[in-house]
């Protein structure tokens, strides 16, 4: 009888330990295709988290917008705890955390090095990541990824803002970005997810959109809008986000949240390397397709730059300290 009791007790203990250490699986939403730099980084993040938490936290990556075709949907799902993670552009996140506009103002950075020097700065980019959570958004900013420069791609040849008059252009869900295109003479259209842009151009709902070389190429949009106008209006970093509520509901410990943050940071350099390779490869594909790539003259570029300056008054007036700090970082690089 005693033996029996001991057996039952030890069985309960084993089961109890197993239950206490039970693994949780959380989903990660990604709009890009498999093999895209951010998707590769998501997978690397998932691999590291699984390894470092010794299986306590597993992350399932859903690419190509298969969970949420629009990033605002993913962000809102994270706010209510329905989704664990998402890799999104900083642009739609600014609709929930307006301070984020300060790191994606048009013509703010002189180069990729400039942007990274600002994002890596503890007082600028890292503070901004912390502010995402501190703002009460319910989101945890984990790290940034590279996304190059965004330029317009259209069904029509454009060299100046005047040429853009009346063109309907798909923009990300961010009112500043919509106003930007309006200051340039176009009409901003939102609510179209990255997988639906091709069709919207083909059916004449829009005359084009704007993005970096890899998205223009990998979504196939380069086959619908063949003029790529290198006005390079913004550098918008990508952000890997976690949901405070989803982590809490899943019972992820504070120690494991620290591990998750650390793993995310470690994937940043990996994504940047993948980005460098993909940017070149995508440009080659688009050029080989015979698309018209429009390099603007210095004067034409200046027209774009000047037209969007009012946004600094409307959207960055509360964050002049951040803008000045970013500019100061740029000066140290010159």
In the complex, which residues of this chain contact ligand BDP (CB under 6 A)?
A: 31, 71, 88-89, 147, 172, 194, 211-212, 215, 238
CB of 38 to ligand BDP, least distance (A): 6
> CB-based contacts of 16: which residues, under 8 Å, 6+ apart?
none
> CB-based contacts of 270: which residues, under 8 Å, 6+ apart?
40, 41, 44
User: What does the alpha-carbon distance between residue 240 and residue 170 come to, in Å, rounded to a whole number?
Assistant: 23
CB of 114 or CB of 219, closer to ligand BDP: 219
CB of 63 or CB of 160, closer to ligand BDP: 63
CB of 63 or CB of 243, closer to ligand BDP: 63
User: What does the alpha-carbon distance between residue 244 and residue 256 come to, in Å, rounded to a whole number?
Assistant: 13
DSSP annotation of 308: T
Three-state DSSP class for 79? helix
CB of 288 to ligand BDP, least distance (A): 21
Name the strands in the sheet holding 208-211, side by side, starting at the edge strand that comes first in the sequence: 187-189, 168-170, 208-211, 150-154, 227-234, 292-294
CB of 21 to ligand BDP, least distance (A): 35
Q: Are strands 187-189 and 227-234 parallel, antiparallel or unpaired?
A: unpaired
CB of 23 to ligand BDP, least distance (A): 29
Residue at shortest CB range from ligand BDP: 89
CB of 213 or CB of 304, closer to ligand BDP: 213
Tokens of 104: 């994606």
User: What does the alpha-carbon distance between residue 75 and residue 135 come to, in Å, rounded to a whole number?
Assistant: 15
Three-state DSSP class for 133? helix
CB of 147 or CB of 282, closer to ligand BDP: 147
CB of 169 to ligand BDP, least distance (A): 11
CB of 145 or CB of 160, closer to ligand BDP: 145
State phi, psi for 231 to the nearest 5 degrees.
-85, -15
Residue located via tokens 């976690």: 242
CB of 184 to ligand BDP, least distance (A): 17
CB of 89 to ligand BDP, least distance (A): 4
Handedness of CA 250, 75, 115, 328 (dihedral sign): negative
CB of 192 to ligand BDP, least distance (A): 9
User: What does the alpha-carbon distance between residue 279 and residue 284 come to, in Å, rounded to a whole number?
Assistant: 9
User: What does the alpha-carbon distance between residue 27 and residue 22 come to, in Å, rounded to a whole number?
Assistant: 17
CB of 211 or CB of 291, closer to ligand BDP: 211
User: What does the alpha-carbon distance between residue 83 and residue 207 come to, in Å, rounded to a whole number?
Assistant: 33
CB of 57 or CB of 88, closer to ligand BDP: 88
């Amino acid at each position: 009888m005693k033996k029996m009791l001991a057996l039952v007790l030890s069985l309960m203990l084993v089961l109890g330990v197993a239950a206490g250490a039970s693994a949780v699986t959380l989903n990660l939403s990604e709009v890009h295709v498999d093999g895209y730099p951010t998707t590769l980084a998501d997978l690397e993040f998932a691999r590291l988290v699984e390894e470092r938490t010794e299986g306590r936290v597993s992350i399932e990556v859903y690419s190509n917008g298969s969970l949420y075709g629009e990033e605002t949907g993913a962000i809102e799902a994270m706010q209510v705890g329905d989704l664990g993670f998402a890799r999104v552009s900083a642009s739609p996140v600014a609709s929930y955390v307006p301070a984020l506009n300060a790191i994606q103002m048009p013509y703010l950075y002189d180069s990729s090095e400039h942007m990274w020097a600002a994002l890596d700065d503890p007082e600028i980019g890292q503070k901004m990541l912390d502010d995402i959570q501190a703002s009460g958004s319910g989101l945890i900013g984990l790290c940034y990824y590279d996304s190059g420069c965004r330029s317009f791609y259209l069904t029509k040849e454009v060299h100046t803002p005047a040429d853009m008059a009346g063109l309907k252009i798909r923009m990300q869900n961010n009112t500043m970005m919509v106003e930007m295109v309006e200051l340039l003479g176009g009409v901003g259209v939102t609510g179209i997810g990255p997988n639906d842009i091709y069709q919207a151009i083909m059916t004449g709902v829009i005359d084009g959109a704007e993005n970096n070389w890899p998205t223009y190429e990998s979504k196939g949009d380069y086959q619908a809008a063949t003029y790529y106008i290198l006005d390079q209006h913004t550098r918008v970093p990508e952000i890997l986000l976690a949901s405070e509520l989803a982590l809490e509901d899943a019972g992820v410990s504070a120690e494991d949240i620290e591990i998750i943050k650390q793993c995310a940071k470690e994937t940043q350099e990996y994504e940047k390397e993948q980005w460098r390779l993909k940017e070149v490869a995508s440009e080659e594909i688009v050029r080989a397709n015979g698309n018209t790539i429009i390099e603007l003259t210095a004067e034409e570029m200046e027209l774009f730059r000047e037209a969007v300056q009012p946004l600094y008054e409307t959207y960055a007036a509360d964050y002049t300290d951040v803008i000045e700090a970013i500019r100061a970082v740029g000066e140290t690089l010159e």
